[in-house]
Structure 1
Amino acid sequence: MNRAPASLHRLSTALIALVLLALGGAALASRLGVRPISEWVDRFDASSIGRFADSGWWAAALGGVVVLSLIWGLSLIGSTLRPRAVDDLELDGSDQSGELVIAPKLIATAVADELSGDTMFQKVSARALDDRSRKIIRLEVTARPDRSYAEIVDRVGRATDQIREAVAGADVHVQAFIHLEKPTSAR
């Protein structure tokens, strides 16, 4: 999740927690007879609830709270469901302004296509994603069990170095995950 939605979720949770803690603390203080709070509760008019429910503004206020809660809740849910695609990268390039604009997804796909042609790997995938305001190109490979770890790391390391060279100057992190298949035992 990106930094902005994660902050919004944390602030929302903190606000609800503070309100619930305050209400719970006030209820406990009233039951235990803590002076100022128990006096405030004793002064509360129980018949006012009925008058509030009968007044016209109460229904409008309750409807407003419901609408506000729905908007708030749907925005929190929507912030976690939206895909977090990485914006295009501006690299030093060959156009007249001296910049080259490219989608990181294209770089990731090109590297995945190149590595998938290598018989060393059973499965290769590469994605460009945005994780908490960090642009990442993530390379995942599943290696065959008959290859040594040094061979696998050398090949994947060259690919990640190529990505780093391609996006030099841009704020992009490159990650590589290597999954090693277990060798099957001969019977």
Structure 2
Amino acid sequence: MKRGPAALNRILVLVVGLALAAVGAAALAWDRDVTAVRDAVGRVDRERVTALPDQSWWTWALGATLAVCVVLGVTVLAVDLIRRRVAAGTMLETGTGTPVAIDLGAVATGVAVELERFPGVRRTRGRALSDRGLATVQITVDADPYADVPALIAAAERIAATTTTALGGADVTDVAVRVLLHLDPAGQVPPPARED
């Protein structure tokens, strides 16, 4: 997720969380007979509050609130679901100060093909994305649960290190390589036949 949507989500969660905490604290204070809360509630004109739904503007206010909430919810959902692709010709700054354009999508595809050759790997998917402003080469590996997991992890780490080195190593700090390993549940795939 990019920084903007992440910040928006955190602000919304903070506001809703604080509002719910305030309501909960008020209810708890009411239940515990806190004098200040009881006095504040006692000053409310109950007849006026119960008459609010009978006002001519009430239905319009509810409709407007519903519309605002729907628009806000759809907007947040759309922002969260926007694909986090990086540009095809991502400009990287090398240690020598020379900018270089690299197609990170092609790099991700090549790394995925390399990992797919490993025994026990069913499928790999590579993509280039932006993770909070950091260009990231992400490889997702779906593997057989009976695969040699330590060897697969070692191979993934080796290929990720090689990719980082190929992209400039320590000189390039604005690209990350991430490998996600998904193992199928053991019950879905029969164990390999044992050789006697």
Secondary structure of 1:56's counterpart equals: coil
Match of 1:63 in 2: 63
Determine if contact 1:31/1:38 at 8 Å carries over to the other structure.
Answer: no
Structure 1 unaligned residues grouped into runs of 5+:
none
Distance verdict in 2 for CA 1:4–1:166, change over 3 Å: same
CA distance in 2, matches of 1:103, 1:170: 16
Tell me the matched-pair count: 179
CA shift, 1:5, in A, is 2.6
Secondary structure of 1:174's counterpart equals: strand
Match of 1:90 in 2: 91
Determine if contact 1:90/1:170 at 8 Å carries over to the other structure.
Answer: no
- Cα displacement string for residues 84-111 of structure 1 (whole angstroms, at most 9, x for unaligned residues): 2123411469xxxx65433311111233
Match of 1:76 in 2: 76
CA distance in 2, matches of 1:173, 1:15: 33
CA distance in 1, matches of 2:114, 2:53: 69
Cα RMSD over matched residues? 3.7
Matched residue type, 1:90: M
Match of 1:43 in 2: 43
Bigger-Rg structure (1/2): 1
Matches within 5 A, 1:1-12: 1-12=1-12
CA distance in 2, matches of 1:23, 1:120: 56
Match of 2:103 in 1: 103
Matched residue type, 2:91: E
CA shift, 1:38, in A, is 0.9
CA shift, 1:60, in A, is 3.0
Determine if contact 1:145/1:183 at 8 Å carries over to the other structure.
Answer: no
Secondary structure of 2:86's counterpart equals: coil
Match of 1:175 in 2: 178
Percent of aligned positions that are identical:
29
CA shift, 1:173, in A, is 0.8
Match of 2:53 in 1: 53
- When structure 1 is superposed on structure 2, of 32-41 and 84-93 the one drifting more is 84-93
CA shift, 1:128, in A, is 1.8
CA distance in 2, matches of 1:179, 1:33: 54
Secondary structure of 1:85's counterpart equals: coil
- When structure 1 is superposed on structure 2, of 39-48 and 162-171 the one drifting more is 162-171
- Cα displacement string for residues 1-27 of structure 1 (whole angstroms, at most 9, x for unaligned residues): 344333322322222222122122223
Match of 1:136 in 2: 136
Matched residue type, 2:66: V
Determine if contact 2:84/2:129 at 8 Å carries over to the other structure.
Answer: yes
Distance verdict in 2 for CA 1:109–1:56, change over 3 Å: same
Secondary structure of 1:186's counterpart equals: coil
Distance verdict in 2 for CA 1:3–1:119, change over 3 Å: closer
Secondary structure of 1:59's counterpart equals: helix
CA distance in 1, matches of 2:26, 2:121: 62
Matched residue type, 1:132: R
